[in-house]
Amino acid sequence: MPSPSAAPPSGHASAPGLRWDVFCQVIDNYGDMGVCWRLAADLASRGHAVRLWTNDAGALAWMAPWGTPGVQVLPWPAAAPADGPGDVVVEAFGCEIPGAFVASMAQPGPGRARPPVWINLEYLSAEGYVERCHGLPSPVLHGPGTGLTRWFFYPGFTPRTGGLLREPALAARQARFDRAAWRAGRGIAADALAVSLFCYEPPALAQLLQRLAAVSGGAHLLVTPGRAAAALRALQGPGGAPAAAAPGAHRGVLVAWLPACPQPAFDELLWACDLNFVRGEDSLVRALWAGQPFVWHIYPQDDGAHRAKLLAFLDWLQAPASWRQAHLAWNGMAPAASLPPLGPAELRQWHACALRARDRLLAQADLLTQLLGFVDGKS
C-alpha cells in the first residue's frame, strides 16, 4: 500500500496549494479507484495536498505500490477529521460522503471563511445530458449539509464538458517509450499482432481467438489478471493455465498471462500493443491517449442503459462501420459471429480514427486543469 505523505512534492511552484479530500468507494471493480488515484496523484504533482478516503485501498498495492508525495490514503471516515475538511471535497461517482464529514463542511472552522467547494465527480459518458448538466449546482436543502451547494462536474469528450484526466507529463513519457524494445523483450516479432485483453466476460471471446488465429504473421494475446484471465481460462476448460503462467499457445494464438501492474506499466502495455481490449472508464481514457485501435467493454447495467452510452460514444468517435460492429459484438449487442476480421485494412482504418479522436481531445483542456479553474471560480 502506498506510503502516506501530506507533504507536497518538490519541484513545483512555491505558491501554497489547496487541501483536497477525495472520496472513493470501491464496489466490485478497480475503475473508480483508478480514476481517483490518477486525480489525487495529478493534484499532488501540481502542488496540492490530498487525502484519499476509501473503503478499500487494496488495489493500490499493485496500482500505485510506491504511492506519491502529497497524497495520504486513509480509511473511510466514521467521524469528521480533527483538522476539519479541506478546501475542496470531491465525492467521486455519487459515493455518499459520511454525514459526520458533511456536517463538518457546513460548520465554520479556524482560518476558513467559507465552506469547502463540494464537487460531485460524475461518471464518464458521451450522451447529450453531460453537456447540459456539467457545472450545475445542487443546493442541499436538508440533512447534515443543509445550506451547502454540491456542484456537478462531468468528465466528457467535448469542449462543453469537464474533459478527461491527462497528466501534463503524459505526452513526453509516451514519446520516450521504446515500443520496439518493449515488444522484443517479450518475444513479440515486429510483424506480429500484439493484443491486450482487459475485459469482463465478453460473449465474443471465442470468436476473438478465431480472428486472431487467422492473422497473418501470428498474434500474441497479452491477458491481464482477474476477470479477463478467468474468462479465457473458462474457454480452455478445467485446469486452464494459471494467471501468471509462462506464455503458451491456445487455438493457434500465443498467450501471455500478465501479472497485476502499476498504472504507468499499464500505459506502456497499451502503447506497445496494436489492438487493446479495455473495460470500464479509466482504461478507456488511457486507450484513447495511447492512440492505438481499441475495443471498449462497457460496464453492463441491469436496465440496459449501457447500450445508449456505448452508441453515444461510438457516434462521438465517428467509428467506421467495422469498428462499430466490433464494439457491438464484443458487448453482446450483436451476434458474436459478427465480430469483424482483424486484418491490416481494418486496423489501419481504426488506427486513423483513433488518432483523429485523440487530436480532438488534445485540443481541449484536461479534466484537472478545468477542475482547478472551476474550483477557483467558486472559492
| Segment 196-226, tens digit of pLDDT | 999 999 999 999 999 999 999 899 999 999 9
Task: Check residue 246 and give its pLDDT.
Answer: 41
Range scoring the smallest mean pLDDT among 155-159, 160-164, 289-293, 298-302 = 298-302
CATH number of 19-163+365-378: 3.40.50
pLDDT for residue 26 is more than 50? yes
Task: Check residue 14 and give its pLDDT.
Answer: 32
- Percent pLDDT > 70 in the chain is 91
| Residue-by-residue DSSP string for 48-101 | -EEEEEES--TTHHHHSTT--TTEEEEEPPSS--TT---SEEEEETT----HHH
In this prediction, residues 259-286 reach a mean pLDDT of 97
Handedness of CA 326, 328, 330, 336 (dihedral sign): negative
C-alpha atoms less than 13 angstroms from C-alpha of 73 in its C-beta half-sphere: 25
pLDDT for residue 11 is more than 90? no
pLDDT for residue 353 is more than 70? yes
In this prediction, residues 36-64 reach a mean pLDDT of 97
Which amino acid would we find at residue 102? V
In this prediction, residues 243-271 reach a mean pLDDT of 81
Torsion angle of alpha carbons 359, 362, 363, 364, nearest 10°? 140
Domain boundaries, the chain: 19-163+365-378, 170-362
Range scoring the smallest mean pLDDT among 52-66, 160-174, 196-210, 294-308 = 294-308
pLDDT band of 111, cuts 50, 70, 90: low
State pLDDT tens for residues 299-342.
988 888 999 999 999 999 999 999 999 999 999 999 999 999 99
Task: Check residue 6 and give its pLDDT.
Answer: 32
Q: Quick check: do 19-163+365-378 and 170-362 share a fold?
A: yes
- CATH class of this structure's domain 170-362: alpha beta
Strand order through the sheet with 149-153: 71-75, 49-54, 19-24, 88-92, 117-121, 149-153, 137-139
State pLDDT tens for residues 96-110.
999 999 999 998 776
Task: Give the residue numbers annotated as catalytic, written as ranges.
Answer: 32, 281
* Total-model pTM: 0.92
Q: How far is CA 360 from the centre of its chain?
A: 19
Task: Check residue 244 and give its pLDDT.
Answer: 41
Task: Check residue 283 and give its pLDDT.
Answer: 97
pLDDT for residue 28 is more than 60? yes
Q: How far is CA 213 from the centre of its chain?
A: 30
Task: Check residue 241 and give its pLDDT.
Answer: 52
